[in-house]
Chain A
Amino acid sequence: MFRKPPEAPDAVLVEVEGRPVRVPPGASAAAAALIAGLASTRTSPVTGEPRAPYCMMGVCFECLLVIDDEPSQQGCMVTVRPGMRIRRQEGAREL
């Protein structure tokens, strides 16, 4: 739903669902997931429905992601770092 951003010379290389993606510096992990074109970023642990970022400002918690193997992180509140591994969160987290 977003146009592909112009390639920045200082783009940050991250991994989204195992695929390399270059994103602008200062992007959040949730923005990286959107740029990567993920159809959804998690499934609800209650209803199983697919969900994706809604508010991008830390309010809705729909963008919970597994970032560098740690689940339940608010993707919109985490700024990308080179090499960051971003994965969808499926249902209730593992311990």
Chain B
Amino acid sequence: MNAGTRAGGYDFVVVGGGVVGSSIAFGLAERGRRVAVLDEGDRAQRAARTNFGLVWVQSKGDGMPAYMRWTRRSADLWPAFAQRLESLTGVGIEYRKAGGLVYCLGPVEFDARREKVEQLRAQADIYGTEMIERAALERLVPGARFGPDVVGASHCPNDGHCNPLLLLKALHAALAIHGAHYLPDAPARNIVHREGRFVVDTPRGSIEAGRLVLAAGHGTPALADAIDLPAPMKAERGQILVTERCRPILPIPGSGIRQTQDGTFLIGSSKEKTGFDDSTTVAVGGRMAARAIRILPELGGIRLTRTWGGIRVLTPDNHPVYAESARCPGAFVAICHSGITLAAVHAADLAEAISGGALGPTLEAFHARRFHVPKAA
């Protein structure tokens, strides 16, 4: 074992130092567990770095009420989670429970959105989403001058936003404060289950722990088989545009436009089946810009400074997978999109369950075996 690792070994090794892995590791460390977090280096394919920063409840979980409730639970935990992280680390993560908007351009979009909101509510009444007409929208966001096509929006008071980059920074700082070991440049190459313990091989040496959490995003499938964990995954590219800093006009984040605390606007986000190619294209950026300008025409004059392409971490039905290995007990996997929204519940309920040694009935619905059962008619 190399320098930086711990004599006496670890209770947990968490494979993956992005927001999902770091949130779980933070929760475990808060519970007194001795934790090592293995991460890639600077060029990691990191969803946490290409993220829109929404803590987003509305629209989540269609077809899976357990995920809807899980999302709402996380949103409810977020204010205390943010405060705990900030007071522990001194890193402000710019969390605001500001509500969230899905803008509707034209009556057809408005009606379609209304129908969607009703349909979601029928599955689980956890959203609190309301359809609001343009006049109400203007009262809600008095600083913004909306374009003529904006007829209204859906508004969910349980939504919010934060700075996902600073969230990751705060989590890493919190890990250090709790004595957890964050080991960068140490991507897991291989995992062996031996005599009830897990040995992870990395370029910086091997790390051993009693239990293991695999939260390696798209790195998960390559590692999961060896310890009998499921890893059903698909890749989807999202492009995001980021602008120069502007004076604040938009305190409420929206599905495709968010103004950050820095004053920059984020505009997103595409959904493309382009494999693991994370480049950006003028065609897609142009379409996103055009829609944003229809919502807020004044955006047309401000300057785009960067575009990002990121690869979403998705399962076949877009809902999270949490599972424990049957053959190698003590090995857990977490695969999900929405790592920001779920960060609070990952650091609390999920970490609590994993720390306690079993996922339990609440998380049963998230097992990957759902993909093998034929859907009921």
Contacts and interface: CB of A to CB of B under 8 A. Distances in A.
A94 interface: yes
Which DSSP category, helix, strand, loop or mixed, fits chain B's interface?
Answer: mixed
B1 interface: no
B372 interface: no
Nearest to B144: A95
Contacts of A95: 246-247, 249, 296, 298-299, 301-302
Given A45-B263, A72-B303, A93 B244 contact: yes
Interface in A42-76: 45-46, 70, 72
B247 A72 contact: no
B245 interface: yes
A72 B298 contact: no
A70 B244 CA distance: 14
Contacts of B246: 92-95
A91 B249 CA distance: 15
A95 B246 CA distance: 6
Contacts of A72: 244, 302-303
Interface residues of A, number: 9
B302 A45 contact: no
A91 B247 CA distance: 9
A92 B249 CA distance: 12
Contacts of A46: 245
Nearest to B265: A95
Contacts of B245: 45-46, 92-93
A75 B299 CA distance: 21
B239 to A, nearest CB: 22
A24 to B, nearest CB: 29
Among A45, A46, A72, A95, the one with the most B-chain Cβ atoms within 10 Å of its Cβ is: A95
Q: How large is the interface on B (under 10, 10 to 19, 20 to 34, 35 or more residues)?
A: 10 to 19
Question: Among the interface residues A46, A70, A93, A94, which one has the most CB atoms of the partner chain B within 10 A?
Answer: A93
B302 A92 contact: no
A49 to B, nearest CB: 15
A92 B303 contact: no
A93 B284 CA distance: 26
B225 to A, nearest CB: 48
Interface in A1-39: none
A61 to B, nearest CB: 10
B260 to A, nearest CB: 12
A91 B303 CA distance: 15
A95 B247 CA distance: 7
Contacts of A70: 301
A19 to B, nearest CB: 26
A46 B247 CA distance: 12
A95 B263 CA distance: 10
Interface string B132-151: 00000000000000000000
A93 B302 CA distance: 9
A70 B296 CA distance: 17
A72 B296 CA distance: 19
Interface in A69-95: 70, 72, 91-95
B87 to A, nearest CB: 25
B295 to A, nearest CB: 13
B247 A92 contact: yes
A93 B303 CA distance: 10
A93 B243 CA distance: 11
A65 to B, nearest CB: 13
Interface of B: 244-247, 249, 263, 296, 298-299, 301-303
Q: 7 tightest CB-CB pairs across the interface, nearest first? A: A92-B245, A95-B298, A45-B245, A92-B263, A72-B303, A92-B247, A95-B246
28 contacts: A45-B245, A45-B263, A46-B245, A70-B301, A72-B244, A72-B302, A72-B303, A91-B247, A92-B244, A92-B245, A92-B246, A92-B247, A92-B263, A93-B244, A93-B245, A93-B246, A93-B247, A93-B302, A94-B246, A94-B247, A95-B246, A95-B247, A95-B249, A95-B296, A95-B298, A95-B299, A95-B301, A95-B302
